[in-house]
Amino acid sequence: MAQLVLSELGKVYSDGTRAVHDLSLEVRDGEFVVLVGPSGCGKTTALRMIAGLEPVTTGTIQIGDRVVNQVPARDRDVAMVFQSYALYPHLNVYENIAFSLRVRDIPKADIDRRVREVATILDLNEQLRRKPSQLSGGQRQRVAMARAMVRQPKAFLMDEPLSNLDAAHRVQVRAEIARIQQSLATTTLYVTHNQTEAMTLGDRVVVMRGGVLLQVGSPQDVYDRPVNLFVAGFIGAPRMNCVAATLVEPEPGQIELCLGGQSLCLPPATLHQRPGLRRYIGRSVVVGIRPEDTEDAEITGEITGSTISSVADLVETMGSDILVHFPVEARAVPAIPATPPLAAGRAGRDEQSSLLVGRFSPRSHVFEGQRIRVWVDTSRLHFFDPITALSIWH
């Protein structure tokens, strides 16, 4: 095991495309770090440079106590698990797992011991004599992981290993990856575009966009304190509702948030937590409302200054909760401009109207077309500068 240190790592292709910009990151010994971001953000390129599969343009990669920029991939002592299983179809499971040990001329008795140890950890003992074609997708991915684990590397590099699995297998294998990493305590860098995987697996999460590192922190920190509008919109499902609003102070010490013709009263603690908001009184801000910070006011009991009046446009029953789409007269601000904003609506709403999403309790009996009052937890609102898109704190 060893720490992994990236210092101002950069990648520029021959056509001038810059895939990674000055990426600096330290993955501590035994830590599980997840690189997350949309497709094309540079996360897989960074992983391939660490593995030695892509040459480094600028910066350094240090594994343990040595810089490995010029070290061939086979000598870096890292194991990579790919999106595709890349198993040898003519070899059985035992032979696939043992392959990398055999080419290194490890004694046969040691190979057998190590193969059976990882097979036990990954519950593959019953499949050792089967061919990959006889396995399920989840079993194949476990074989690919076993092949990496058996090498006992200094670090694991995982490139979207769950993307080819169906939903049920994805949850199962995700739990197995977390359990295995905790038991082995091997330094792990995991790449995914799936923010659920990032939040459930990582000790720390690294959010990237356009080859640039935007934020590093624990999953809860990134969720609670996103540095900008993009991170806020990317982390969380359903996506955060982001709309234009105005801060006003009708009376000294009383701050209200105006959304169209409606207003929400902000608790006094808001300005203590975010003193920078005072500069925005009388000005526009972007407010972020997570769906899980809303509720049917009929259940919470109507609280003055904390509700929005609307009409249920669409109701999606999920079993454990209900997703209610409802319009407000406020301009939608897409957190991720490359994709259509959630507030685009189903029937081409004008730009001064937004369709928000609330996550209601299953005890709510809201139906489409019903007039509703939506309770908003105003203590958990997020605020962003409309020009820089940075989160407003100090």
In a domain, 299, yes or no: yes
pLDDT on residue 340:
32
- Mean pLDDT (the chain, rounded): 89
250 and 166, same domain (yes or no): no
Residue 216: what are its φ and ψ, rounded to 5°?
A: -125, 135
CATH at 368 = 2.40.50.140
State residue 349's pLDDT score. Answer: 46
Q: Specify if 362 maps to a domain.
A: yes
Handedness of CA 359, 361, 367, 373 (dihedral sign): negative
**Prediction pTM value:** 0.87
CA angle 215, 245, 361 (to 5 degrees): 75
For residues 170 and 300, membership in a common domain is answered with: no
- Number of separate domains in the chain: 2
- Predicted local distance difference test score (pLDDT) of residue 24: 97
- The verdict on 214 and 311 lying in the same domain is no
Q: In this predicted structure, what is the pLDDT of residue 100?
A: 85
Do 142 and 8 belong to one domain? Answer: yes
Indicate whether 253 and 134 sit together in one domain.
no
Weakly modelled stretches of the chain, pLDDT under 70 = 1, 302, 336-351
Give the residue among 127, 102, 104 at the shortest CA–CA distance from 116.
Answer: 127
What are the DSSP calls for 141-184, one per residue?
Answer: HHHHHHHHHTT--SEEEEESTTTTS-HHHHHHHHHHHHHHHHHH
What would the pLDDT profile of 329-385 be if each residue is shown by its tens digit?
999 898 764 333 333 333 344 467 889 999 999 999 999 999 999 999 999 999 999
Residues 174, 318, single domain; the answer is: no
Task: For the beta carbon of residue 8, count every other beta carbon within 10 angstroms.
Answer: 11
Provide the token pair at 38. 């949309």
- Please name which of 196, 252, 253, 250 lies closest in space to residue 219, comparing C-alpha atoms: 196
Please count the other Cβ atoms lying within 10 Å of the Cβ belonging to residue 113: 10
**CATH for 72:** 3.40.50.300
Structural domain boundaries, residue 315: 241-384
248 shares a domain with 152: no
Question: Can you give the C-alpha Rg of the chain in angstroms?
Answer: 25
The per-residue pLDDT for range 298-308, each reduced to its tens digit, is 998 767 779 99
Q: Does a structural domain hold residue 12?
A: yes
Angle of helix 108-121 relative to helix 93-102, nearest 10 degrees?
130
